[in-house]
Amino acid sequence: MPSVFTHEFNTPAFKGKVSFSTGLFINGQFVDGSDNTTIDVINPTNGKVVTSVSEATPKDVDIAVEAAQKAFDTVWGLNAPGATRSTLMGKLATLMQENADELAALEALDNGKTFNFARNADIAGSIDCIRYYAGWADKVTGQVLETTEAKLTYTRHEPIGVVGQIIPWNFPLLMMSWKLGPALACGNTIVLKPSEFTPLTAIKMCHLMNEAGFPPGVINVLTGYGGTTGHAISSHMKIEKVAFTGSTLVGRKIMESAAKSNLKNVTLELGGKSPNIIFDDADLEQAVNWAAFGIFYNHGQTCCAGSRIFVQEGIYDEFLKRFTEKTRSIKVGDPFAPETFQGPQVSEIQFNRIMSYIESGKQAGAKVEVGGERQGTEGYFIQPTVFTNVDPSMKIVQEEIFGPVGVVIKFKDEDDVIKQANDTVYGLAAAVFTQNLNRAINTAHRLKAGTAWVNCVNSLNANVPFGGFKQSGIGRELGEYALHNYTSVKAVHVNLGHKM
Ligand code: NAD
Ligand code: MN
């Protein structure tokens, strides 16, 4: 029997007791892993174990795939009208709304992000996303194509079947929602693996899915490690599609296992090293505030973080002065304290990884303008850090750090900055700050990125596609675009009288 997770929150932001059974969620039930092993859940503010959850094995993946296939063949897919799927998804969104504070508290406890951001960004965005795709579920349509009068030709957008979904720890519930929404709307059944670092909200969601009334087997959630459970999903012969969000390194492995198994369809949302360009004519105060939000939001653990900040030479000194002041003013601390902007990094591994990037910057001769050290002695807190004096060969300029570490680089003119900004293997997002309309649009168009922001950063909507150019990914999430990831198009030709 899987254990019950009970926790009493007594924080300024949230008070209350949560209690739900953990375990793998297969065929609508919570069960132990087949090896009876568990994974510790760690609170990143102090490194202590909060609870443990079941660990899935490849055998559990087989069991979940079987349940998902059965649901697809009987109660979901083409057996459930779009309106039925829509209603269930709408109910789920309502239940998420009713449990929003609890979900936010769980996210803050497990991931270390602040309760406020979890509540107002992660959870709110997750609810929007499920509701948005609930609206699509009865609007999946094909086309009737004109060929000849002797033939009726049309397309059907059929659900793929059992799909695998593997997600990261930086926005646990939000990434789960981005995956569930379009897959369910199109009628697929799901085997999803959350990150081993942040399993709690995914498990809570399973309880809400049961409460909403989803038939057993439609959604199966397996907490487990990447190299075992994740690999079993991406290489499974009966999973026809895998959607992955995570690092570019693991993205390659996913594609490789898909190629080596059944050539399953692959979509990837990967890393970034996004440029944030600030021209001389920008509203300086706004540019400083947005740039800080761009790199330090979610403790820098944001795939589209504006980690390379390019500033035009005329305002460089003034910008740097104000930006370092702004950085120094960021409150780092308890995720549940109302004044906190930045909590701990998610795990000891990430903490060490980020600290080694900071060390490499120092070694390479970059200048630390502010930060550059861990904060406190307990937990995984890192000071918001700004480097200058960098050159393009440095690791801190080229590689995704995924922490609160930005580099500020001076540039001359438009051509110069476009060349530098595009000098990266990534292409997830980019931002430009200027009050000149033509320059804003020209720059947005010339940057090689899946999202270009003008006078803002990190702005997302459920109905607007998100995804990467170059090594930042394949395919788009959100919006109507994401539906294309979850249907197989069938062309039907009906002969109306052509005799052989
Ligand atoms: P990660 O790649 O280490 O892990 C992501 C998921 O993959 C986890 O669930 C993990 O268990 C699983 N995994 C690990 N090895 C696997 C394997 N061999 N086979 C199958 N699955 C495996 O990434 P992370 O550290 O959890 O997340 C951070 C990364 O995610 C960053 O690079 C970030 O930029 C990226 N990210 C991208 C987006 C986007 O939309 N583009 C969004 C969020 C995060
Ligand atoms: Mn955790």
Residues 223 and 294 reside in one and the same domain: no
Q: Is residue 250 part of a domain?
A: yes
Distances, alpha carbon 324 to alpha carbons 180, 253, 399, 408, in Å: 40, 39, 22, 10
Q: What residue numbers bound the domain in which 379 lies?
A: 275-461
Residues 286 and 250 reside in one and the same domain: no
What's 433's domain CATH number? 3.40.309.10
The per-residue pLDDT for 145 is: 98
Distances, alpha carbon 20 to alpha carbons 97, 201, 278, 359, in Å: 18, 11, 48, 42
Find out whether the beta carbon of 251 lies less than 6 Å from any atom of ligand 1. Answer: no
Residues 340 and 247 reside in one and the same domain: no
Phi, psi of 323 (to 5 degrees): -70, -40
Residue 244 alpha carbon to ligand 2 centre in Å: 20
Find out whether the beta carbon of 271 lies less than 6 Å from any atom of ligand 1. Answer: yes
Closest residue to atom 30 of ligand 1, CA basis: 246
Residues 394 and 418 reside in one and the same domain: yes
Report the alpha-carbon distance of residue 126 to residue 130 in Å, rounded: 6
> Is the Cβ–Cβ distance between 343 and 114 less than 8 Å?
yes
> Which ligand gives the minimal distance to the CA of 250?
1
Find out whether the beta carbon of 384 lies less than 6 Å from any atom of ligand 1. Answer: no
> Which ligand gives the minimal distance to the CA of 228?
1
The per-residue pLDDT for 1 is: 85
Residues 260 and 290 reside in one and the same domain: no
Q: Is residue 105 part of a domain?
A: yes
Residues 433 and 285 reside in one and the same domain: yes
What's 202's domain CATH number? 3.40.605.10
The per-residue pLDDT for 471 is: 97
Residues 55 and 200 reside in one and the same domain: yes
> Which ligand gives the minimal distance to the CA of 458?
1
Report the alpha-carbon distance of residue 448 to residue 426 in Å, rounded: 9
Q: Is residue 469 part of a domain?
A: no
| Residue of 231, 235, 260, 303 to test ligand 1 pocket, by largest number of atoms within 8 Å of CB | 303
Closest residue to atom 19 of ligand 1, CA basis: 231
Which residues fall inside 5 Å of ion ligand 2, going by CB? 42, 110
Helix axes 200-212, 100-111, angle to 10 degrees: 160
Q: What is the pTM of this model?
A: 0.97
Residues 292 and 257 reside in one and the same domain: no
Residue 79 alpha carbon to ligand 1 centre in Å: 33
Token pair of 385 as six digits? 């850090």
Residues 338 and 391 reside in one and the same domain: yes
Residue 395 burial class via C-beta count within 10 angstroms: exposed 0-12, middle 13-18, buried 19 and up: middle
Q: Is residue 495 part of a domain?
A: no
Find out whether the beta carbon of 170 lies less than 6 Å from any atom of ligand 1. Answer: yes
Per-residue pLDDT of the chain (500 residues; tens, 9 = 90+): 889 999 999 999 999 999 999 999 999 999 999 999 999 999 999 999 999 999 999 999 999 999 999 999 999 999 999 999 999 999 999 999 999 999 999 999 999 999 999 999 999 999 999 999 999 999 999 999 999 999 999 999 999 999 999 999 999 999 999 999 999 999 999 999 999 999 999 999 999 999 999 999 999 999 999 999 999 999 999 999 999 999 999 999 999 999 999 999 999 999 999 999 999 999 999 999 999 999 999 999 999 999 999 999 999 999 999 999 999 999 999 999 999 999 999 999 999 999 999 999 999 999 999 999 999 999 999 999 999 999 999 999 999 999 999 999 999 999 999 999 999 999 999 999 999 999 999 999 999 999 999 999 999 999 999 999 999 999 999 999 999 999 999 999 999 999 99
Number of domains in the chain: 2
Residues 332 and 450 reside in one and the same domain: yes
Catalytic residue IDs:
269
Closest residue to atom 43 of ligand 1, CA basis: 303
